[in-house]
Structure 1
């Protein structure tokens, strides 16, 4: 599943060519993805100019002034920006290309083989925002924000018996880190993923938080991780997977100490770690 770096890479990739352009048409080739596609979406969008694109967790929010188009990539989705020639796309729609947003000069196309993504219209609330929507209201802190500090994470984990890796993946506490980047951040910080969150003191959190930030920023700089379905808005691939210390490397030698990388199951997800470099 695309995690925060992949979604941020997508946001940046579609923002440059599309912000400021007007919507000319909406094309929905299926009635629903994870949720039914909104009825009357064209009435909300056609003729409107795209003002901004922001990310909240793993959601993309396209701001049209009167509301936001919410896009989620699900487990296998990707967004492409396609140039048009004489009003037609250079690349014809394929089997899994389920939704198009046609702008003047470009088409934004959602490809989603498993149909776990989402396309929703969120009208602006009285404050002119959409943050009160049920999909967004319960989201936790952004790990790249200034508010995400060692002191905040230390205070948020007092009395918490949950192991640190599942806690970092809990979107109600911290958004967007996901399985790959939780494993990689904990390795960089030297913390065993099984360590109870409440058992980690201020000094270790002072090491973990910067490593989370550095890991995510390095992944964004590398274009994210392209393991299966994820591609960039221009059709390219990310290459952060080439820099993994532990994720997906079970049995392989640790890049630091040379001992084998271990794997275990936590919260129904695979966890990768080095038993020598990471301590409880």
Structure 2
């Protein structure tokens, strides 16, 4: 499942191509993905200009000139390909190993200027919905979301206020989209390692008895933001080797300190501990019990 860095990578790849372009044609090849497509979907898209392309949590949002937002989620295997001037580019090709059989091309948008945007999704866990822009914040997909981790709202004081008195462990607390929007399993594990915090520790450790931010909270914010920024610069992560649209191999998975490294020696200088795997709420967590406390 793509997390914030993968979705942001896709956004940055698509935005220069789609922003300001008009949707000249829309071909919808099936009635649904995870959910049915919106009523009169193609009709509502054609003729609209894409004002801009945003990201909120793990959602891509195309703001349309008619006042509606096209909200897109990639699911597990969703991918966009840009076909323009005889070239094909797949920004954020984190799922390259799945392949891109054209039988799974479900949505095709032709833009003014001739570029085509193709949405391919073999498992069809992604979805697309439309909503009035003015009502987005109240929509069920968005109204309960927490702060953006790369925005100014994520502070040690904010984490302390949300964590005060919470018995939930830090891993579950940070994975809660109502607290921090867009964080997922990989980047929570890596951020906790950088901050030197165990995923097993109770979230209330981020606040003292007066409710003020502790040193743990102050370490956690830059750790979260640093991991995400580095992952975006690396075009996100994949659990398999892959090549991106330009043919270069690699990705942030080559920089994992703990994720999926159970049984290996901790990479923190001078530590020498062994990475362990534990399960929180059905999701695997990886950490070093020697240097993460």
Normalising by the residue count of structure 1, what TM-score does the alignment of the two structures yield?
Answer: 0.91
The yes-or-no answer on 1:73 pairing with 2:81 is no
* Change beyond 3 A, Cα 1:192–1:140: same
- Which one of 272, 276, 279 corresponds to residue 290 of structure 2? 276
Q: For structure 1, list consecutive stretches of 5 or more residues without a partner in the other structure.
A: none
Which residue matches 1:108?
A: 117
Q: Distance in 1 between matches of 2:280 and 2:89?
A: 44
Normalising by the residue count of structure 2, what TM-score does the alignment of the two structures yield?
Answer: 0.87
Which residue matches 2:159?
A: 153
Which residue matches 2:96?
A: none
Q: Please state how far the C-alpha of 1:38 moved relative to its aligned partner.
A: 1.4
Q: Please state how far the C-alpha of 1:42 moved relative to its aligned partner.
A: 2.1
* Change beyond 3 A, Cα 1:267–1:76: same
Which residue matches 1:169?
A: 175
The yes-or-no answer on 1:6 pairing with 2:6 is yes
What per-residue deviation string (whole Å, max 9, x for no partner) do you get for residues 198-232 of structure 1? Answer: 12341110001111011101100111002259986
* Bigger Cα displacement from structure 2, 137-146 vs 102-111: 102-111
Q: Distance in 1 between matches of 2:109 and 2:201?
A: 46
Which residue matches 2:262?
A: 250
* Change beyond 3 A, Cα 1:108–1:237: farther
Which residue matches 1:97?
A: 105
* Change beyond 3 A, Cα 1:136–1:237: farther
Q: Distance in 2 between matches of 1:234 and 1:228?
A: 17
**SS in structure 1 at match of 2:70:** strand
Task: Give the paired residue count.
Answer: 274
Which residue matches 2:126?
A: 117
Q: Distance in 1 between matches of 2:247 and 2:42?
A: 26
Mapping 1:191-210, distance limit 5 Å:
191-201=197-207, 202-210=214-222
Q: Distance in 2 between matches of 1:90 and 1:196?
A: 44
Q: Please state how far the C-alpha of 1:90 moved relative to its aligned partner.
A: 10
**SS in structure 2 at match of 1:137:** coil
Q: Please state how far the C-alpha of 1:95 moved relative to its aligned partner.
A: 2.0
Which residue matches 2:140?
A: 134
Q: Distance in 2 between matches of 1:265 and 1:51?
A: 43
* Change beyond 3 A, Cα 1:89–1:180: closer
Q: Distance in 2 between matches of 1:89 and 1:117?
A: 21
Q: Please state how far the C-alpha of 1:235 moved relative to its aligned partner.
A: 7.9
Residues 97 and 112 of structure 1 are in contact (CA less than 8 Å); yes or no, is this contact kept in structure 2?
yes
**SS in structure 2 at match of 1:47:** coil
* Change beyond 3 A, Cα 1:235–1:136: farther
- Which one of 231, 234, 240 corresponds to residue 219 of structure 1? 231
Residues 189 and 259 of structure 2 are in contact (CA less than 8 Å); yes or no, is this contact kept in structure 1?
yes
Residues 9 and 232 of structure 1 are in contact (CA less than 8 Å); yes or no, is this contact kept in structure 2?
no
**SS in structure 1 at match of 2:201:** coil
Q: For structure 2, list consecutive stretches of 5 or more residues without a partner in the other structure.
A: 91-99, 208-213
4+ residue runs of structure 1 moved beyond 2 angstroms?
88-93, 226-238
Q: Distance in 2 between matches of 1:130 and 1:14?
A: 21
Q: CA RMSD in A?
A: 2.3
